[in-house]
Structure 1
Amino acid sequence: MLTDYNIKRKGSRREIWLAILPFIQFMLLLIALQCALILLSGTAGEEAKEAFRVRVIADSNTAQAQQVKAGVAEEVNRVLGRAGLTDPSGIEALIPEMTLAAEAVSGGAPVRVTVGAAFFPPKVLDGGMIPQARTDSLVVTVGSGRGDNWWCALFSDVCEPGEVAAEEEETEEEPVTFFIVEWLKSLFG
Structure 2
Amino acid sequence: MRKLIAALLIAVILVTVVSMSGFASDCAQIREDILRIHVLANSDSEEDQALKLQVRDRILEESAGLFEHMEDKQETMERAQEWLPDLQAAAEDEIKKQGYDYPVTVELTHMYFSTKQYDSITMPAGDYDAVRVLIGTGEGQNWWCVMFPPLCLPVAQNHKQLTDVLNASQMDIVQGGVKYEVKFKLVEWFEEIKAAVESWFA
Q: TM-score normalised by the shorter chain: which range applies?
A: 0.5 to 0.7
Is 1:53 matched up with 2:36? yes
The partner residue of 1:142 within 135, 148, 155 is 135
Confirm or deny: 8 A CA contact 2:35 2:146 kept in the other structure.
Answer: yes
Confirm or deny: 8 A CA contact 1:48 1:153 kept in the other structure.
Answer: no
Measured against aligned partners, the alpha-carbon deviations of 1:133-189 in whole angstroms (never above 9, x if no partner) come to 111111100001000110110133544xxxxxxxxxxxxxxxxxxxxxxxxxxxxxx
Cα pair distance change 1:62/1:49, threshold 3 Å = farther
* Cα distance in 1 between the residues matched to 2:104 and 2:92: 6
What TM-score do you get using the length of structure 2 for normalisation?
A: 0.51
Measured against aligned partners, the alpha-carbon deviations of 1:7-27 in whole angstroms (never above 9, x if no partner) come to xxxxxxxxxxxxxxxxxxxxx
- Corresponding residue for residue 52 of structure 2: 69
* Cα distance in 2 between the residues matched to 1:97 and 1:139: 14
- Corresponding residue for residue 85 of structure 2: 96
Is 1:117 matched up with 2:100? no
Q: What count of residue pairs does the alignment treat as equivalent?
A: 119
* Cα distance in 1 between the residues matched to 2:65 and 2:102: 24
Structure 2 counterpart SS, 1:66: helix
Measured against aligned partners, the alpha-carbon deviations of 1:91-143 in whole angstroms (never above 9, x if no partner) come to 11111111111011112211011112011111245666432111111110000
For the pair shown, the structure with the greater C-alpha radius of gyration is 1
Structure 2 counterpart SS, 1:138: strand
Is 1:81 matched up with 2:64? yes
Question: What code does the residue aligned with 1:151 have?
Answer: W
Percent identity, aligned pairs only, is: 25
Measured against aligned partners, the alpha-carbon deviations of 1:26-48 in whole angstroms (never above 9, x if no partner) come to xxxxxxxxxxxxx9xxx9xx868
**Greater helix share, 1 or 2?**
2
* Cα distance in 1 between the residues matched to 2:148 and 2:123: 16
* Cα distance in 1 between the residues matched to 2:135 and 2:67: 24
Task: Report how far residue 49 of structure 1 moved.
Answer: 6.8
User: Unaligned regions of 5+ residues in structure 1, if any?
Assistant: 1-38, 160-189
